Amino acid sequence: MNAVSALLDWICLSAAQDMRDANQFPYRPGHVVRTQLQYGEETITERFLLDLSRHFPRDNTLTMQLVSIAHVKNSKAQYPEPTTGSDWEWHFGGTGGQWFSMRVQAKKAKRTGKQWGYAAIGWPRSGKTTFQIDDLIRDAGNRYWPAYAFYDSRFRDKTPPLGVCAQCPRLHPYFGGMTYADAHVIQGLRQAKTLDRDTVLTVSAPMPCLFDCVGRAQANMNLPQRVRAFAAGVSQRSAREGTAGREPPPVLTDPPPQYVLNIVNRAEETPDAPVVLEGLSEEDPISRLRGIVIIRERVEIPLNNPK
């Protein structure tokens, strides 16, 4: 196991443990109030990005270029979360000016009675006639891979029914915490009011595989190619299990959306300063951003000229 794999596995374990601790603080002498924290999807995602950027190995042989953009929930924003159906979007950059982009809706496992599962997937949003998942797929179009991130506090010591994608050369144990699935597959399962944990595990794959698939790294694929291959593998394996997967968008050799380039260029011009979003009009697409994380280890191409 290399340093990146070890880091990602540790992040998954930490996320699962945090979710457990947030609602399972034990009573201690002198404490009569049991503390309970919401610890929702946004917090889990931001903690993941913080851990990734803080602990990513400082090795010049490693390259990770990730632009993470959180979608605002204000319905009056230019591109709000209620319109896109997604909580955030990720843009992975690589050699040769290649990019792969995905939009993600996150769900956290919750308990309803005796059942643990993921609610609100098979229901229209309040005051809306469309499903959130339909908005996610429609707005992603042919440029983004629409995906679901599932956050689970449960630990497992065995490989789940899916566990790996169709192209994986080795089994990858599932440690709990974070898995990803093709939104088209989840769309086919939304008839259920709540998706139970085991159903989700049959159509999802561990988060570490998304960033650091050993087989594809050995095949000399860059990061966008590996992420795209992961998406394709998850969809193909889901199709074998009888659920409808769909081929993800291709890796693009043209630049990502202009607002992504603006972010990267601004960060490149002032690498030691935070990206400033003040003074932007509502017409500027970048005004929809709530948070930005850029993780980049070795610049292989000029960022202001991705071609």
Residues 107-129, mean pLDDT to the nearest whole number = 74
What CA dihedral angle connects 285, 287, 290 and 293, to 10 degrees? Answer: 60
DSSP 7-65: HHHHHHHHHHHHHHHHT-PPP-TT--S-------HHHHHHHHHHHHHHHS---TT---E
pLDDT at 76 over 90: no
pLDDT at 178 over 80: yes
The identity of residue 12, as a single letter, is C
Give the pLDDT confidence of 45-65 residue by residue, as tens digits.
Answer: 888 888 887 877 665 555 567
Percentage of the chain surpassing pLDDT 70? 59
What are the structure tokens assigned to 270, written together? 């002032």
| Top-confidence range, 88-102, 183-197, 245-259, 283-297 | 88-102
Residue 162 pLDDT: 45
What are the structure tokens assigned to 204, written together? 């999802």
| Top-confidence range, 4-13, 180-189, 196-205 | 180-189
Q: Where are the alpha helices (DSSP H) in 28-167?
A: 41-55, 81-84, 132-140
Q: Angle, nearest 10°, between helix axes 41-55 and 3-22?
A: 150
